[in-house]
Amino acid sequence: MADQETTIRPLQMEARSEPAPQAVLRVALVTGSYNYIRDGVALTLNRLVAYLETHGVETLIFTPVARTPALEHAGEVVPAPSLAIPFRPEYRIALGLTAPLRARMRAFRPDIVHLATPDILGHQALRLAKASGWPTVASYHTRYDTYLKYYGLGFLQPVAKAAERRFYGACDEVFVPSPSMAETLAAEGVDAKFHLWTRGVDTERFHPSRRSEAWRAARGVGANDILVTFVSRLVREKRLDDFVAVVRRLQAAGAPARALVVGDGPERAALERALPDGLFEGFVVGDELATAYASADIFVFPSDTETFGSVTLEAMASGLPTICADATGSRSLVDHGVTGFLAPVGDVDALGDGALRLANDPVLRQAMGEAARARSLKFSWDEAMAGALARYRALTGR
């Protein structure tokens, strides 16, 4: 890859030197996920829109919707026609930028178009922006190409990667959430101007002080038991079998380990069968989620499909040592041997070795948890969102 210092530019640093805007800035956001499901993409983009609107930026969001929104969204939404994805019906795919949507976008007269998904809607919005002379930025959120192998569609990966190269290469700038993601995209042939648009974490909510012995006792967890936690949607691409293998490895070695699973999804029933003594909290948010994190002892996240790893950062802020796959996102967060351990993707022995070291050494758990907490303090939502706004202003000459 080319020199990282010049290829991947940190948005946060530039945000501090940008002048105040001289006129109202209008941003059209085009995304495949915004309010019909509460996933990382939707939460990040809603946080962005809320930040923009408090700073006087007009926004208009073009996105698929559902009859029952999963969250109270920020900004004005323009619904795009969509269908549920057959093998993942909780997600929807937009059918494109219809004539009424194109008319609405032209009437809005955006100063910049922000594209969050390389789907049909995103591709057509990109073509309209190019034809209209509107600057474009794309933010990279999801490794869709890597999902395919988990659903028997791995043969389509070359096609997906080629489409990604065309899409991101045609945008004026591409916001990436982690340096490791930029390195991977460049290695796969994406020729783009990358800017680092990292994520933040609420370090006041996600805090070691949220640990609750009463919470543990109410679930039959003893003071000396080791809670090994996994937080995410329960879907194939998170490599749930690897998590199961780690918990079983600890138990076979005689460690008083139990699984704590926070989240829901189509693979929950299978996971409950695989871990019959596990604790399954389901989908929780807010302070309840923060207590669940802090009341655990070790965080294990074997997924290789992350672009950043927000759940890993939340675990770190909660004072947990983290054991993750050495993959995009995670390798930019976890300092191997300091805040936790990284293991080759799919290497359950290495994951299990790291977990066993931590389970058998409370002093090491404490030290790594404190180091993880200290590292999490470097990630600020305000700086991240200010960085995005700074790039909008730079590209539009504001």
- Are residues 218 and 192 part of one domain? no
- Is residue 307 within 8 Å of 141, Cβ to Cβ? yes
pLDDT at residue 40, as a whole number: 85
Read off the pTM: 0.87
SS3 84: strand
Residue carrying the six token digits 């309840």:
288
- Are residues 334 and 228 part of one domain? yes
Pairing of strands 298-301, 26-30: unpaired
What is the residue range of 299's domain? 208-376
In this predicted structure, the answer to whether residue 75 has a pLDDT above a threshold of 60 is yes
Number of domains in the chain: 2
- Are residues 156 and 20 part of one domain? yes
- Are residues 340 and 243 part of one domain? yes
Least reliable range by pLDDT among 81-90, 126-135, 208-217, 297-306: 81-90
Residue 146: C-alpha distances to residues 26, 128, 172, 237, 303 (Å): 34, 28, 25, 8, 11
Model confidence over 111-163: pLDDT tens digits?
999 999 999 999 999 999 999 999 999 999 887 767 667 777 777 778 778 88
Tokens of 164: 């990604």
In this predicted structure, the answer to whether residue 14 has a pLDDT above a threshold of 50 is no
Mean pLDDT of 213-218: 97
- Are residues 67 and 142 part of one domain? yes
- Are residues 212 and 241 part of one domain? yes
CATH number of the domain encompassing residue 315: 3.40.50.2000
pLDDT at residue 7, as a whole number: 55
In this predicted structure, the answer to whether residue 39 has a pLDDT above a threshold of 90 is no
Mean pLDDT of 176-204: 92
In this predicted structure, the answer to whether residue 341 has a pLDDT above a threshold of 90 is yes
Q: How confident is the model at residue 17 (pLDDT cuts 50, 70, 90)?
A: very low
- Are residues 233 and 195 part of one domain? no
- Are residues 270 and 300 part of one domain? yes
- Are residues 230 and 161 part of one domain? no
pLDDT averaged over the chain? Answer: 91
- Are residues 390 and 307 part of one domain? no
- Are residues 243 and 95 part of one domain? no
pLDDT at residue 10, as a whole number: 57
- Are residues 323 and 266 part of one domain? yes
83 exposure class (CB count in 10 Å sphere: 0-12, 13-18, 19+): exposed
Mean pLDDT of 205-209: 98
